[in-house]
Amino acid sequence: MTPPAALRKPSYDAMAANARAPERAASAKRDLLGMRDLGADLPRVLAFAKHLKGEFKAGRPLPLLAGKSAIMIFEKASTRTRVSFEVGLNKLGASATFLSARDIQMGRGESIEDTALVLSRYADLLIYRAYRNEDMAELSRRATIPVINALDDLEHPCQILADLQTVEEHKGRLAGLRFLYIGDGNNMCHSYLLGCAMAGMHVTICAPEAYAPDAGMVAAAARLALENGGSLTMTSDPDQAFKDQDVVATDTWVSMGDEAEKEERVQAFQGYTVTEERMQEAAPGAIFLHCLPAYYGYEVTKEVAHGPRSVIFDEAENRMWAQMAAMVWLLAPQQLP
């Protein structure tokens, strides 16, 4: 039997409290651990990502972080996240040092506290791709330099920042658009909830009840939607979810760490596949998002993912530009208009 969502996922309220513990509050540094850390600067960071993309593509490099260095700690393997950060840092004139779980003593006896304090002496930025949000919060509390969440089990803010950039590129705006996320109520779902609500979008989350997103995240997103002129709808009925949606997004049904549940999950998500027939129910000109890697025939068909409505490769590229903007926002905020 699948455990209730509240038992499977970290509590948003508890994690938010951890991330804002007194040790962190006493520090002047700024982190990007979740979408809400961007606050009112979200439109500013998105506009700067667009600016960076335009300047570099026009052959006008901007080494805005020359002389800076970042250390990347990746507990989980990655293609897009690692490459987009390393290339983006290089474009900005900064250096990147990559550490996998095999390259670091953290997890083999050395505490997160000692790791954070040591690495803070070497670099200007820590980029952490973690299994557990509790570890992300601990690293942030102990580090004396900014920390970026490159994914944990609660949020994936860098991906959603890139996705919002992609939607704005293709639709010309964010506020007022109808956005559907269909699938697992996971870290992607949580960051979509918050980020799209912050942008004033009308958000629909369609997930089986046993795989619904964290209740604290839903409540936070509902408040943000109300504050920003958007709305939030929760449903478990995929037959009603697609109607008139401007943007449709999904994610894998079996994330890293969930492999033992694959058979159970595939059964639970029957009927939640994004197909061409489903996309026909969306609004004219609707676009499709997927953070990749995609498992065709499960959460989406290849026909949709590689079809004319799909913007998944623009989305993948924008990981780099959005993260570059976020890094400048953290390390050289005076460079942002």
* Annotation says 278 is catalytic: no
**Catalytic one of 129, 178, 202, 265:** 129
- The span from the CA of 183 to the CA of 193, in Å, is 13
**Catalytic one of 24, 31, 291, 323:** 291
CA nearest neighbour of 164 among 148, 175, 153: 175
Instruction: Indicate if the alpha-carbon torsion angle 274, 280, 282, 285 is positive or negative.
Output: positive
What DSSP assignment string belongs to 215-245? HHHHHHHHHHHHHHT-EEEEES-HHHHSTT-
**Catalytic one of 36, 80, 156, 290:** 156
* Annotation says 251 is catalytic: yes
**Catalytic one of 159, 165, 245, 323:** 159
* Annotation says 44 is catalytic: no
Largest CA distance in the chain: 56
CB 286 within 8 A of CB 245: yes
**Catalytic one of 135, 251, 265, 323:** 251
Return all residues near 297 (Cβ < 8 A) that are at least 6 apart. Answer: 273
Instruction: Indicate if the alpha-carbon torsion angle 24, 25, 31, 34 is positive or negative.
Output: positive
Place of tokens 């520090």: 27
* Annotation says 158 is catalytic: no
* Annotation says 319 is catalytic: yes
Find the helix or strand (DSSP H, E) in which 196 lies: helix 187-198
CA nearest neighbour of 165 among 129, 195, 197: 195
Residues marked active site are found at 129, 156, 159, 251, 291, 319
